[in-house]
């Protein structure tokens, strides 16, 4: 049977697959920092060249931001039954660099005492290792059988980690070219290293930067201290006011559109073998900090949050400076669930802040993107095929799980292209994505490739 031959080839060629992944990992495609724009372009070029080499018609498409890669196999004729695969080639910044045990852009394989291996580099899990599982699966099918079992379009984005600003306009402008029966996304995780999962919900994300200005210049706190308003204090108070003592968000209207879990989902989640102590313990914590009347799994998968991701204000360099700064700012993000409306929420947040700004101070907002939460319908046909393929590969039934993270494009696929998405990924909670020493399990990479090979086979049925 051809699937068996494809899987055997994947096993045989694993070292070459790794070499290709390493080449991609060496490109520092940090999307949020303009200094790395050329590297983002280089990663897009590299991917397009790889896909062309496989026989895809691939091109790098410029956007206002970093380019997209679009590739078809075979060339579109408008009639075929096709799937769209999405991944992102951009990565998060690497700071703090001193906490890395090796160069983030010089990938290496580390072997544990038990013989298990992991790939260590920025982007190993998020998302270069993951997107390459699909590319390598496609490679094996083409090499072994002369083609893919189902027609495929690939879309690689370079701005996922920085808000996907170009995505909406790009999808709109290229809707006919990108539209497919379903979308496949490899940017999520497994339940544990032996148990695959399909994510059926993603939280939405709103990112807002707020800047409070008090005096028209920085002041000496010996001269003005006591009389002049300190914007650090104003902002800190506002940020502290965002939660009540029970961990609930206090912005008026915040919980509108947030549904309670259905009995079925609640039962299913309660049946999962999840330990809050272990989950927090792996990062050196033990006290759940969210809404005190919710389980930890509910907190991370099904409840909306507000987080302060960064605070800037006053003197933060070495030594000390007795300054009353003129400005203070914070980067604040909201994770959304259910039907919470990003626009309404942004307004409510602005009102909340404005109401707390003293008369002689001012506030400005800068939006870095807003996307709603998403649920994948349980009866979607691709979901059933994904389940079968994953069960065959891993020998255990895949779990249907929620995902606390956000992937802005998945909502856009539904809204702009009317497509359902299959969210299958092989990341683990301890992969340290966005953190120093990011890693991807070798088993995730290897069995991830095999899983996609099987899913492609299933999709042809």
Task: Return the number of other C-beta atoms located less than 10 Å from residue 438's C-beta.
Answer: 25
How far is it, in rounded angstroms, from Cα 96 to Cα 199?
A: 30
| In the complex, residue closest to ligand BES by CB | 405
How far is it, in rounded angstroms, from Cα 44 to Cα 87?
A: 12
Regarding 400 and contact with ligand BES (CB under 6 A), the answer is: no
Comparison of 123 and 231: residue with beta carbon closer to ligand BES: 123
Regarding 161 and contact with ligand BES (CB under 6 A), the answer is: yes
Comparison of 249 and 407: residue with beta carbon closer to ligand BES: 407
Backbone φ and ψ of 152, nearest 5°: -130, 135
Q: Considering only 183-191, 322-330, 336-344, 383-391, which stretch makes contact with ligand BES by CB under 6 A?
A: 183-191
Q: Which does 28 bind (CB under 5 to 8 A by kind): Zn ion, ligand BES, none?
A: none
Note the maximum CA span of the chain.
83
Q: Considering only 44-52, 67-75, 265-273, 405-413, which stretch makes contact with ligand BES by CB under 6 A?
A: 405-413
Say which DSSP state 173 is in.
Answer: H
Regarding 188 and contact with ligand BES (CB under 6 A), the answer is: yes
Regarding 126 and contact with Zn ion (CB under 5 A), the answer is: yes
Chain residues 247-266 in contact with Zn ion, contact rule CB under 5 A: none
Nearest to 198 by CA among 396, 437, 409, 441: 396
Q: Considering only 218-226, 250-258, 393-401, 406-414, which stretch makes contact with ligand BES by CB under 6 A?
A: 406-414
Comparison of 357 and 409: residue with beta carbon closer to ligand BES: 409
Closest approach, Cβ 452 to ligand BES, in A, equals 17
- Which two structure tokens, joined as six digits, stand for 216? 């028209």
Closest approach, Cβ 429 to ligand BES, in A, equals 8
Nearest to 348 by CA among 446, 453, 208: 208
- Which two structure tokens, joined as six digits, stand for 438? 């990011």
> 328: buried, middle or exposed (CB in 10 Å: 19+, 13-18, 0-12)?
buried
With beta carbons less than 8 A apart as the criterion, state whether 440 and 119 touch: yes
Q: Strand locations in 172-222, DSSP E? A: 182-185, 197-202, 204-213, 219-220
Regarding 127 and contact with Zn ion (CB under 5 A), the answer is: yes
Interaction mask 259-298, ligand BES, x per CB under 6 A: ----------------------------------------
How far is it, in rounded angstroms, from Cα 123 to Cα 126?
A: 5
Nearest to 435 by CA among 205, 203, 122: 122
Regarding 163 and contact with ligand BES (CB under 6 A), the answer is: yes
Q: Considering only 96-104, 120-128, 255-263, 434-442, which stretch makes contact with Zn ion by CB under 5 A?
A: 120-128
How far is it, in rounded angstroms, from Cα 162 to Cα 413?
A: 18
Distance set, CA 18 to CA 116, 138, 176, 179 (Å): 15, 15, 34, 31
- The strand pair at 57-61 and 68-73 is best described as antiparallel
Closest approach, Cβ 433 to Zn ion, in A, equals 7
Nearest to 137 by CA among 27, 43, 13: 13
Task: Return the number of other C-beta atoms located less than 10 Å from residue 367's C-beta.
Answer: 13
Closest approach, Cβ 349 to Zn ion, in A, equals 25
Regarding 405 and contact with ligand BES (CB under 6 A), the answer is: yes
Q: How many residues line the site for Zn ion (CB under 5 A)?
A: 3
Regarding 406 and contact with ligand BES (CB under 6 A), the answer is: yes
Chain residues 351-380 in contact with ligand BES, contact rule CB under 6 A: 369
- Which two structure tokens, joined as six digits, stand for 94? 């690497």
Q: How many residues line the site for ligand BES (CB under 6 A)?
A: 15
Q: Of 60, 118, 407, 409, which lies in the binding site for ligand BES, with binding defined by CB under 6 A?
A: 407
Q: Of 65, 87, 402, 408, which lies in the binding site for ligand BES, with binding defined by CB under 6 A?
A: 408
Chain residues 182-221 in contact with Zn ion, contact rule CB under 5 A: 187
Backbone φ and ψ of 420, nearest 5°: -85, 155
Closest approach, Cβ 105 to Zn ion, in A, equals 17
Regarding 410 and contact with ligand BES (CB under 6 A), the answer is: no
Closest approach, Cβ 112 to Zn ion, in A, equals 25
Regarding 328 and contact with ligand BES (CB under 6 A), the answer is: no
Regarding 157 and contact with Zn ion (CB under 5 A), the answer is: no
Chain residues 213-232 in contact with ligand BES, contact rule CB under 6 A: none
Backbone φ and ψ of 457, nearest 5°: -60, -45
Regarding 90 and contact with ligand BES (CB under 6 A), the answer is: no
Nearest to 27 by CA among 37, 18, 12: 37
Q: Considering only 215-223, 256-264, 310-318, 400-408, which stretch makes contact with ligand BES by CB under 6 A?
A: 400-408
Nearest to 14 by CA among 131, 137, 196: 137
Q: List residues binding ligand BES (CB under 6 A).
A: 126-127, 160-161, 163, 187-189, 205, 369, 403, 405-408
Q: List residues binding Zn ion (CB under 5 A).
A: 126-127, 187
């Amino acid at each position: 049977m051809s699937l068996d031959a494809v899987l055997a080839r994947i096993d045989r060629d694993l070292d070459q697959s790794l070499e290709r992944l390493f080449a991609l990992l060496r490109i520092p495609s940090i999307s949020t920092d303009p200094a790395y724009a050329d590297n983002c372009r280089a990663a897009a070029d590299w991917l397009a060249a790889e896909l062309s080499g496989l026989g895809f018609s691939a091109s790098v498409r410029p956007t206002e931001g970093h380019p997209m890669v679009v590739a078809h196999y075979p060339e579109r004729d408008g009639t075929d039954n096709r799937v769209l695969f999405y991944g992102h080639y951009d990565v998060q910044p690497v700071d703090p660099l001193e906490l890395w045990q090796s160069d983030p852009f010089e990938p290496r394989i580390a072997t544990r005492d038990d013989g298990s291996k992991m790939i260590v580099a920025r982007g190993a899990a998020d998302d270069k290792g993951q997107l390459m599982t699909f590319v390598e699966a496609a490679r094996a099918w083409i090499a072994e059988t002369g083609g893919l079992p189902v027609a495929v379009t690939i879309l690689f984005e370079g701005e996922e980690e920085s808000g996907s600003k170009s995505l909406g306009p790009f999808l709109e402008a290229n809707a006919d070219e990108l539209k497919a029966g379903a979308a496949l996304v490899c940017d999520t995780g497994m339940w544990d290293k032996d148990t695959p999962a399909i994510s059926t919900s993603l939280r939405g994300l709103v990112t807002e930067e707020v800047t409070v200005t008090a005096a028209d210049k920085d002041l000496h706190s010996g001269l003005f201290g006591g009389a002049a308003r300190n914007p650090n204090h104003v902002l800190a108070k506002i940020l502290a006011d965002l939660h009540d003592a029970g961990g609930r968000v206090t912005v008026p209207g915040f919980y509108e559109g947030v549904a309670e879990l259905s009995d079925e989902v609640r039962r299913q989640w309660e049946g999962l073998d999840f330990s809050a102590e272990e989950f927090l313990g792996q990062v050196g914590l033990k006290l759940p900090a969210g809404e005190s009347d919710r389980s930890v799994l509910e907190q991370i998968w099904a409840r909306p949050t507000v987080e302060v991701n960064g605070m800037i204000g006053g003197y933060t360099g070495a030594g000390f400076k007795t300054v009353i700064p003129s400005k203070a700012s914070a980067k604040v993000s909201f994770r959304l669930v259910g039907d919470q409306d990003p626009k309404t929420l942004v307004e409510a947040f602005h009102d909340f802040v404005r109401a707390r700004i003293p008369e002689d101070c001012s506030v400005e907002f800068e939006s870095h993107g807003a996307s709603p939460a998403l649920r994948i319908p349980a009866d979607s046909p691709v979901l059933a095929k994904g389940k079968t393929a994953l069960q065959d590969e891993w020998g255990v039934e895949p779990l249907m799980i929620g995902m606390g993270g956000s992937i802005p494009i998945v909502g856009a696929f539904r809204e702009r292209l009317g497509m359902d998405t299959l969210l299958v990924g092989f990341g683990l909670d301890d992969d340290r994505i966005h953190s120093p020493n990011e890693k991807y399990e070798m088993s995730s990479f290897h069995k991830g490739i095999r899983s996609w090979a099987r899913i492609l086979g299933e999709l042809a049925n």
